[in-house]
Amino acid sequence: MERRDFLKVGVIGGAGTAAVGTLGCAGTTGAAASPIAVMSPAEMDRFLARLDGGLDALKTGEGHLTSMYPKLDVTDPKYPKQEKLVRKTLRSLLLVGSFNDLPEEARVHPGMQARMWNGMGEMDEAMLGMTSELEALTPTERADIGLRMRKDPGLGMRIVEAIDEDAAKAGISMERRLHLRSIAAEACARMKQSTPLLIDEYVTKVNKVAARPATAAEFERRLVAQMGEDAFFQLRERTEMHARRWNVASTDPTNDANGPYAPKSDPHQRSSTVLSVGGILLGVGALALLIGGICVSASLGGGVFAMTAGAILGIAGLITLIVGSIMRAAEG
């Protein structure tokens, strides 16, 4: 596919995704469970291996912000910190997006569950770190970035195009990269209207989420209020059933959370708060079941992974950081 055509598809995808709604994650909260797991243990092994490869490439690969957008000044003292933040944001978006690409049964696979729980710490670091960076911008800096975006309407998407090139090198799928562009199209449109307004809106959202109780009981109460009791208990029953099914299927050690594709345990996880702020912002829910904490998407309907608060915050923040760095380099 030609680069120009790819960009067109990305913009079209953004318009279609925005129409789906603002809750974000793919889900089947009202659908009947299939009698068998949609993906076999071997298929899940391959999926997890590809996911791990993409996550590792985004963490340790040769691509840097300068390769994403060469006008950056690597002597800027903020550069190393911001590069790490960008990597964490992209890894978090890849992990959550890949989770939501899976059918409901496959999301409960112990290897996928381990990756989601172990990724919660980095989701927090990405979302809270991005919020801190945006919050620290002065009113003048926010206004200047918004003005630059309006004077050069294609700047944001050119930055995303450069990021996409690194994502392609990391082996990220076309579908996942199109989702990234969908989010970026929405973020760029909002930033052109008013970057200060967007920053204030999402900083406020993050602070509200951070102030809420994150216990299992509180999260279940909110899900019941959103979904209704019948839909919630149907979801919980299906989730328990899927987990039992994988436990039976996982006779091979490669299928479980301790197999060769399993990530190392993260001390951030399984604390008294069952869900991180980053996880909530990125649209990932958690149910406290007898079989243990299980991550589920908290969608109230179908559709593709789309406009969660965390996704918009992450991409808009990423673009803001890079535009700010370009402006500082030009001033120097």
For the chain, the maximum distance between any two Cα atoms, rounded to a whole number of angstroms, is 63
268: its two tokens: 């951030």
Q: State which residues form the domain around 62.
A: 3-331
Residue 98 burial (CB count, 10 A):
23
Copy the structure tokens of residue 18: 């925005």
Q: Name the residue type at position 28.
A: T
Count: domains in the chain: 1
Position of tokens 């969608």?
Answer: 299
Digit-by-digit pLDDT tens for the chain (332 residues) are 333 332 232 222 222 222 222 223 333 333 333 334 568 899 999 999 999 998 998 888 765 567 777 788 888 888 889 989 999 999 999 999 899 889 989 999 999 999 999 999 999 999 999 999 999 999 999 999 999 999 999 999 899 888 888 788 777 888 888 888 888 888 999 999 999 999 999 999 999 888 887 677 777 888 888 888 998 899 889 988 988 888 877 544 444 444 444 444 443 444 444 578 898 889 888 887 766 788 887 654 433 334 688 999 999 999 999 999 889 888 86
State how far the Cα of 223 lies from the Cα of 275, in Å rounded to an integer.
13
